[in-house]
Amino acid sequence: MVVKSNLVPRLFSVFFSVAAITLWPFIFVRKHPSFSENKILINHETIHIKQYNELLVIGFLVLYLCDWVRGLIKYKDPVKAYNRIRFEQEAYGNQKNMAYLQNNKNNKRNNSNYSWYINNIINCSNNRICFI
């Protein structure tokens, strides 16, 4: 469910401006039409909903936070740390593909639930940053 709200994205704009944020099961998007009507932005956040669901919410939150903290320690830059989060890499890499979540042929994970995330932790494939 998409919620148009300036308050929630503003609360999370500590290190950089946040246009939208997904807090399962809601997608909070700033009210301005350039954000709230942006199909690419909504698709990006919808990919996060899928990630939350696959990892039973808590798994997503733990891995997301671990990736970000490790990135902060390694790069000492919150924006660079954010860009190294595995979930953001997947969402940014597929946000323009409106069929990504529906079309298994375009879905790099082949709908394999959390195994995709575990494999990327172990083998660090696809030019992703590996922290473990």
d(CA 51, CA 57): 8
Q: What confidence tens digit (pLDDT) does each residue in 87-117 have?
A: 999 999 999 999 999 875 445 554 444 555 5
37's tokens: 């009507």
- Tens digit of each residue's pLDDT (9 = 90 or more) over 42-78: 999 999 999 999 999 999 999 999 999 999 999 999 9
Q: Distances in Å between the alpha carbon of 59 and those of 17, 36, 62, 117? A: 25, 28, 5, 10
**Dihedral through CA 111, CA 113, CA 114, CA 117, nearest 10?**
10
Angle ∠(65,68,69) on CA atoms, nearest 5:
85
pTM > 0.85: yes or no: no
Residue 26: beta bridge partners?
23
